[in-house]
Chain A
């Protein structure tokens, strides 16, 4: 596929090339401008921030904001949290833990369900598929009360499990829909060959399907991971700043506000998922490449 793109490129007119590179420029600005603003904000002082126009290319940079966030080295610079550093690292760890457990659980459960729906449709399978979408539309803030009571009773409040369980509300329907879509596009010939060779359904699933579906599973896994990583409200109510978003929100307190320090904390919190996604980037794009369309 890549090669065909190259061949096409060779026949490309100059005008097309110019148009494409202009497009790339617009694309890069669209993605990078807010990110650049964030990064620059984290590297300048409040005085520089107060100057019009905003210094898109700052004349001098400082790591003070990062030091303030990590070491509580605030020097009375108006930061609500003075021990962010000691809290940010373990919190990132908890976020990683919650998201990873959820990814593994969801891939097993949603993977099985999606495969069943795709290959062994039963009476009511369609209805179930529709209700999977329907479950995704329940406003999460409306149903948090029952979750809290249930988790208090089983004693998992303020543990990663409270989030691992409740996040299924968002991630399971998402994973089922994406994986069902994916399995529908996988060729059935190999499975049929396996059947002729006398493999049971479960053997076929485990030995044949899981390996060839790995790219699709990786893609769905990254999606689930980022959904879980980004969730704020359930983490706020069900835990005490166990994950990153409620910790970041803690930076905006009634008594103090400081955008520069918040920007530094935000940059640091964005690093782990970005690095992770970049590592898996080939798999994500590649996986969905193989999956969609016939």
Chain B
């Protein structure tokens, strides 16, 4: 763990605020002349190490291969499964492994910076342009409260309600937006399908739904300082009453606490469910299953706000400025645009699985538009990213994984009727405070 001059240089920039970044680039330029003017291609002759989780590794390799072929350094791409990615990555970084660029879960990103496993991107050439290019709603995931840029996007998605258009039309129902409307519509549809509403309510994912539902009712979960404030909103208890009722009254199937999302997609495709709330790209999986109802499934416009998620790319430790600049070039290519200004990598993920990039220009790029299957309403998605979604910036704070792990236990207790909605609010507040306080089980 040697501290190079460059790291100290970066350290001195740590407190600068992105919002005051007007003069910061100039400052960075004066501090790091080598970084700002040198061309990475010529400067770094070594090999870069990249770690990704197992999603179409052949595509990852061919994308990175094209980058190398354009005169850039060679990249060693290592792939490990998503299941167990965090422990493997942490053990490797803790053990002193040098990884230039790695996929990470957004909720780990600030912690990794704090532990010295990931570097901030402050002051790198073009980074401010990348942030400026993003939907404003997405910036809170990549820029922390102090203005440090902690990551670049790997992909992004918004939680959407997928619904069976035919079932609704047959029952004479309008597309629901509020939780109350979803409840009522589910009740009415029970004559068509026994349990109309499905969602990925397994332990690990309850936290995403917590935010999706709170945002749907315009409740602020965490304030700017990261303090839990959802308990202050009188509407919060109502959200949990709704959640409990959906499960207890059988509007959502009992098996939901352990169901796989792939199975739920199939339930929609087969017509065993009418509503499915999850990341927008699950429409691809529902449609491509080609079940009897697949073609009837549509994406509903989001309510006032929904949760925007996204996993990230982070920069690890580098031996030299040149290596860091080369890594940054790869990062820009992989998490933003190629040198021709095209969303080459994101376009590939859109084609492969309907994943999105948190950039406004992405949705209007003709190549991207062509890549998305026709059944996607790109205007709707773009609008949701731009004005109707929230990344909940607290989700990247270092104590957050601890809280996230507890949400599953607490929400499951609510759904199983072991805790009242009021108790759930209390427990969640205590869990957030406990996570911020340090060592607890």
Known A46-B269, A50-B267, A256-B353: A145·B94 in contact at CB below 8 Å? yes
Bound together, the chains give a CA A217 to CA B91 distance in angstroms of 36
B82 CB within 8 Å of chain A:
yes
Residues of A within 8 A of B58 (CB): 72, 82-83, 86
User: Taking beta carbons and an 8 Å cutoff, which residues of B are in contact with A?
Assistant: 53-59, 78-84, 87-88, 91-92, 94-97, 260-263, 265-267, 269-270, 272, 281, 284-285, 288-292, 311, 353, 355
Residues of B within 8 A of A128 (CB): none
Known A152-B95, A256-B262: A80·B54 in contact at CB below 8 Å? yes
- The smallest beta-carbon distance between B425 and chain A, in angstroms, is 29
Residues of B within 8 A of A16 (CB): none
- Per-residue interface assignment for chain A, residues 57 to 77, with 1 indicating a CB less than 8 Å from any chain B CB and 0 otherwise: 000000000000000100111
A9 CB within 8 Å of chain B:
no
Residues of B within 8 A of A77 (CB): 288-289
Q: A81-B55, A144-B91, A257-B261 are in contact. List 14 more A-B contacts (CB 8 A).
A: A50-B266, A72-B58, A81-B57, A152-B95, A152-B96, A158-B78, A233-B84, A249-B81, A250-B57, A250-B80, A255-B281, A255-B355, A256-B55, A257-B263
Q: What size tier do the contact residues of chain A reach? A: 35 or more
- The smallest beta-carbon distance between A293 and chain B, in angstroms, is 42
A253 CB within 8 Å of chain B:
yes
Residues of A within 8 A of B281 (CB): 255
Residues of B within 8 A of A236 (CB): 80-81, 84, 87-88
Residues of A within 8 A of B96 (CB): 149, 152
Residues of A within 8 A of B95 (CB): 145, 148-149, 152
- The smallest beta-carbon distance between A209 and chain B, in angstroms, is 42
Interface centre among A77, A144, A233, A257 (most CB of B within 10 A): A257
Which residues in window 18-67 of A have CB below 8 A to B?
A: 46-47, 49-51
- Per-residue interface assignment for chain A, residues 138 to 170, with 1 indicating a CB less than 8 Å from any chain B CB and 0 otherwise: 000100110011001000011000000000000
Name the one of A78, A145, A240 contacting B262, with C-beta atoms under 8 angstroms: A78
Residues of A within 8 A of B265 (CB): 78, 257
Do residues A81 and B56 form an inter-chain contact, with CB atoms below 8 A? yes
Name the one of B55, B263, B269 contacting A47, with C-beta atoms under 8 angstroms: B269
- Per-residue interface assignment for chain A, residues 170 to 203, with 1 indicating a CB less than 8 Å from any chain B CB and 0 otherwise: 0000000000000000000000000000000000
- The smallest beta-carbon distance between A257 and chain B, in angstroms, is 3
Residues of B within 8 A of A246 (CB): 80-81, 84
Bound together, the chains give a CA A233 to CA B311 distance in angstroms of 23
Residues of B within 8 A of A158 (CB): 78
Do residues A78 and B81 form an inter-chain contact, with CB atoms below 8 A? no
Do residues A253 and B82 form an inter-chain contact, with CB atoms below 8 A? yes
